Amino acid sequence: MPANKKHLSPSFHQRFAKITAGFIGGFMIVVTFFLILAHLIDHRVALFTLKFAGFIVWCAFMIIPFLFKNGWKAWAVYLAIILFLSAILYFLIQNSPISISSL
Contact 40, 82 (CB under 8 A): no
Residue 15 or 76: the one with the smaller Cβ distance to other proteins is 15
Binding residue for other proteins, selected from 11, 52, 94, 95, defined by CB under 8 A: 52
* Buried/exposed 29-52: b ≥16 CB within 10 Å, e otherwise: bbbbbbbbbbbeeebeebeeebee
Nearest distance from C-beta of residue 80 to other proteins, angstroms: 19
Residue type at 7? H
**Site residues for other proteins, window 59-78 (CB under 8 A)?**
59-60, 62-63, 66-67, 69
Binding residue for other proteins, selected from 50, 74, 82, 85, defined by CB under 8 A: 50
